Amino acid sequence: MTPAAFDLATDPSLCMCASVRRAARSITQIYDAFLAPSGIGIAQFDLLAQIRVAEEASRTELADVMAMDRTTLVRNLAVLERDGLIETRPGGDRRMRPVGLTEAGLATLSRALPLWQAAQSSVRSELGQERWQATRERLAEIEALPRP
């Protein structure tokens, strides 16, 4: 196929990835606006919540759970560590350095949780329960696609 055979500018539906990325940016903006009073955005909230759920997890475990490459995760964790929200703890061996929430991290997560819940409610209300559920199901299918 030659480049002239299609035009992403006039038919963006040709690229599933571009459509999903645009949708992700839109939903991120909504959640970030709701979370703004807490001082963190949805990316930081998600990381703090995953660390809280895991209690203590290695960077590799977190990267797997969050479907992120380890380099991106480490970069994001560095910001949370710099802000005093997480800390690296001693592990069973030198390679295993679990990450845990600090008291400040727990407090930030507690402050952000009701704001996140409000964002969830707002989006659910806009979509309606049936479309909310269908969207969640389709996203789960996309997340489960085999990776190269």
User: CA-to-CA distance for 52 and 48, rounded, in angstroms?
Assistant: 6
Cα torsion angle, 123, 126, 129, 132, sign? negative
Structure tokens at 74: 């480490």
Q: What is the CATH number of the domain that holds 49?
A: 1.10.10.10
pLDDT tens digits, one per residue of 13-60: 678 888 899 999 999 999 999 999 999 999 999 999 999 998 878 888
pTM: 0.84
Range of the domain at 113: 40-117
Task: Return mean pLDDT, the chain.
Answer: 89
Pairing assessment for the beta strands 99-101 and 86-88 based on DSSP bridges: antiparallel
Choose the weakest-confidence range: 4-13, 31-40, 106-115.
4-13
Q: How many domains does the chain have?
A: 1
Q: Output the CA–CA distances (angstroms, integers) from residue 50 to 26, 57, 67, 92, in the order listed.
A: 22, 9, 12, 21
pLDDT at 93 over 80: no
Inside any domain, residue 98: yes
